[in-house]
Structure 1
């Protein structure tokens, strides 16, 4: 009897410790579609049959709506994954927008997605994902747009969901979609003076998502960050970003180490494509496996059966990472 009791406790302990495997894939967020060897390998190993690919942005420039940074394609962009077209829309584009403009945007987004898919011979699935950091002031018109896009495209329209849109769901509203993608990054601004990791601070994320289980849209996948960047601070404490920097990039004879992830420039020069002066500081923000596991375990207590979409597919971010 004691042996049986011991085995039951051991089994329970093992089940609690077991890591739940989530099917995963990637976002592709570059303007020029191409895949190098590392990227193709990572994508081929991904267990979700889709690649979420940004096609273009929509912004309002000089009072007119227009697509920005529309994709181009290289012959190296070959994949067996189905492409989920993703369109980023600025929040300002949704301010004081008329019903006629909503119909115009929806129609043109659908037509441009179809045109680019045909032009570049990419196999798209029956979904269009919209990425917009909507607010209480734009929610009504943005939700009307989502409905109109579904109507004119005949496709399943899904959308991204920011952390503040979960926490403040009464003010920002619930989007009229059947599926959302929870963006578990950008927990603070990288351009503020802070010791926190602005890409992902797990404590902040948990506070924003403390009542995630109450969110009305139950069909939910999760976007997790694997990207990194460097935050450059000048003599006036002004900041700018340099994408895709890692701690390894800080190993330079022109730098003096301040901490494990921060250096001071001790020699004027061109670094990472920019001219940086002596006295400037560079702080690198990266995402560890421990952070990702911590977030995943937290989310498993809040939502069920979610896939993971890593942001983003880039050889600098996928090399030597265990998915």
Structure 2
């Protein structure tokens, strides 16, 4: 009997210490739908049967609602995953919007999503995800739009949730959806002078999500960053971004390394497709496996169970990653 009790305690300890296995998939956020062999291989191994695919953005141009950067499809875009159409809406689109315009916007988005799915033979599921960095000033109109889109489309409407919308939930409100996608990146602006990683600073994230367990929507999926970029600073401390740079890109005889992730340009010239002057500085921001694991372990104490959606599916970002 004593031996059985000891075995039971050991089994309990092992069970509790076992790492939770989170099903995962990806966002696809390029305007042209195409997949190379590496991306296809990685996507096939993903354990969630969906690919969250940006269809278009919506902005207000000259006082009119406009779809921006609508997807096109290449013959290489073949997958067994069901496509979840994702639409990004700028916050300014919602400023001063009327009830009639909310109805028009919802109807237009639904029709364009359906048209693109039919045009390209995409196997879409019963969900439309809306990505919007809504604020206290636009929340009521945005929430009305989400309800209207659900009524018009007959689909499950979900939305993204940014860190400040969790921290300031009394001001920004709770969206009228049954599922949200928590965006665990963009913890600060890359265009401000800072020694922090603007893609993901884990300490900032933990501060913003300290009360995540109290968030009233219980169905939460987690979006994690795997992208990288280089922040270029000129002599006036003005900044711009170059996508998909890594520390390896700093190994250049025309660069002087300042740190593991920073370098100064020693010679004018074309670098990464851009003309950069002597004296310009490059700061590379990328995300380590340790950072991602830290975030996952933190969220496991806040959210009962969650899938992970990595941002984004691109061979530049998925090579050598362990998912």
**Pairwise TM-score range, normalised by the shorter structure:** over 0.9
SS at match of 1:101: helix
- Residue number in structure 2 paired with 1:174: 174
SS at match of 1:107: helix
RMSD: 1.4
SS at match of 1:75: coil
Q: TM-score, with normalisation over the residues of structure 2?
A: 0.97
Within a 5 Å distance, the mapping from 1:92-103 to structure 2 comes to: 92-103=92-103
Aligned equivalents of 2:233 and 2:11: distance in 1? Answer: 52
Aligned equivalents of 1:248 and 1:287: distance in 2? Answer: 14
Aligned equivalents of 1:279 and 1:260: distance in 2? Answer: 18
Q: How far apart are 1:85 and its partner, in Å?
A: 0.1
Superposed CA deviations along residues 14-40 of structure 1, whole A, max 9, x for unmatched, are 445422110000000000000001100
Superposed CA deviations along residues 116-140 of structure 1, whole A, max 9, x for unmatched, are 0000111000000000000000000
Aligned equivalents of 2:276 and 2:217: distance in 1? Answer: 47
- Which blocks of at least 5 consecutive residues in structure 2 are unaligned? none
Aligned equivalents of 1:120 and 1:33: distance in 2? Answer: 10
Corresponding position: 1:26 with 2:59: no
Q: How far apart are 1:193 and its partner, in Å?
A: 1.0
Q: How far apart are 1:62 and its partner, in Å?
A: 0.7
- Residue number in structure 2 paired with 1:150: 150
- Residue number in structure 1 paired with 2:258: 258
- Residue number in structure 2 paired with 1:282: 282
Aligned equivalents of 1:36 and 1:245: distance in 2? Answer: 19
- Residue number in structure 2 paired with 1:301: 301
- Which blocks of at least 5 consecutive residues in structure 1 are unaligned? none
Question: After the TM superposition, which segments of 4 or more aligned residues of structure 1 sit over 2 Å from their partners?
Answer: 1-18
Corresponding position: 1:116 with 2:116: yes
SS at match of 2:22: coil
- Residue number in structure 2 paired with 1:214: 214
Residue 290 to residue 69, structure 1, CA distance change in 2 (3 Å): same
Residue 267 to residue 172, structure 1, CA distance change in 2 (3 Å): same
- Residue number in structure 2 paired with 1:90: 90
Aligned equivalents of 1:132 and 1:55: distance in 2? Answer: 14
Corresponding position: 1:313 with 2:309: no
Residue 48 to residue 107, structure 1, CA distance change in 2 (3 Å): same
Q: How far apart are 1:192 and its partner, in Å?
A: 1.1
- Residue number in structure 2 paired with 1:107: 107
- Residue number in structure 2 paired with 1:268: 268
Q: TM-score, with normalisation over the residues of structure 1?
A: 0.97
Aligned equivalents of 1:271 and 1:19: distance in 2? Answer: 42
Superposed CA deviations along residues 47-66 of structure 1, whole A, max 9, x for unmatched, are 00000000000000010001
Superposed CA deviations along residues 146-183 of structure 1, whole A, max 9, x for unmatched, are 00000110100000000000000000000000110000
- Residue number in structure 1 paired with 2:185: 185
Aligned equivalents of 1:12 and 1:235: distance in 2? Answer: 60
- Residue number in structure 1 paired with 2:51: 51
